[in-house]
Amino acid sequence: MNMLTVKDGTQIYYKDWGTGQPIVFSHGWPLSADAFEDQMFYLASRGYRCIAHDRRGHGRSSQPWNGNDLDTYADDLAALTTALDLKHAIHVGHSTGGGEVARYIGRHGTGRVAKAVLIGAIPPLMLKTPANPGGLPIEVFDGLRKSVLEDRSAFWKDLSLPFYSYNRPGAKISEGVRESFWLQSMMAGFPAAYFCIKAFSETDLTEDLKRFDVPTLILHGDDDQIVPIGDSAMLSSKIVKNAQLTVYRAAPHGMCTTLKDRVNEELLGFIKA
């Protein structure tokens, strides 16, 4: 297994497929690098080096009590790109992973970054505040914490339905996709599953987005029930200089899986442009 030990001793697992210009993937909560396998296989088969890590506390990485916050997530990503000496990398982040990419650029700049892609991403801020009236109330996130504490396993099973919009009338449900979501989620340690909720909901990434100075693609489904588009992509696309926004009609949060062919082609087109 490919493992990187970062400065606090946490071990970060990563996949490294193919050769060529590096594409680095940052996954969402509470999943793992496996969530991007469709994109990684597609792009590695077309001449790119695809790298995806399990965020600390998730998947096959260590499960530390500390560091389940976006500053540390971003520093872990920076440690990985430095250890592998990645240059001219394309960074792709989904959901919380989009926040990780934003904070990575905010803290570490774009010296190693060629382009960025945010998919169903949490920036600029999910929580409703006086300055962010379109956000979600704190009670929503308190409810997530309560569900994690009471019965994580059942919660992950239930969460897979809105995650992929399988709760919509006429939806074609894949039990295999739901089982994969549950398995990845159960691999996340209890501390990460719980503490990451605060990280992805209460971290204001507005200033980080202002530091983007590379071509940026923002993809979001307008039926995203996890990260509502109005207070995320619609705002981020106005903050990031010259961002390209593509809205997927009736698409869910988990569109990298349910609409993988379209997402794959869109990523390839953006990377090659």
Catalytic residue annotation: 95, 224, 253
**What's the longest Cα–Cα distance across the chain?**
49
CB 253 within 8 A of CB 226: yes
Helices (H), the chain: 37-44, 70-83, 96-108, 138-163, 175-187, 190-202, 206-209, 233-239, 255-258, 260-272
Residue that is written with structure tokens 């059942």 in the block: 154
Beta partners for 59? Answer: none
Rounded-to-integer distance, Cα 13 and Cα 2, Å:
6
Q: Cα-flanking dihedrals φ and ψ of residue 32, to 5°?
A: -145, -175
Beta bridge partners of 220: 247
Does residue 140 contact residue 146 with C-beta atoms inside 8 Å?
no
The secondary structure of 150-207 as a DSSP string is HHHHHHHHHHHHHHTTTTSTT----HHHHHHHHHHHHHS-HHHHHHHHHHHHH---HH
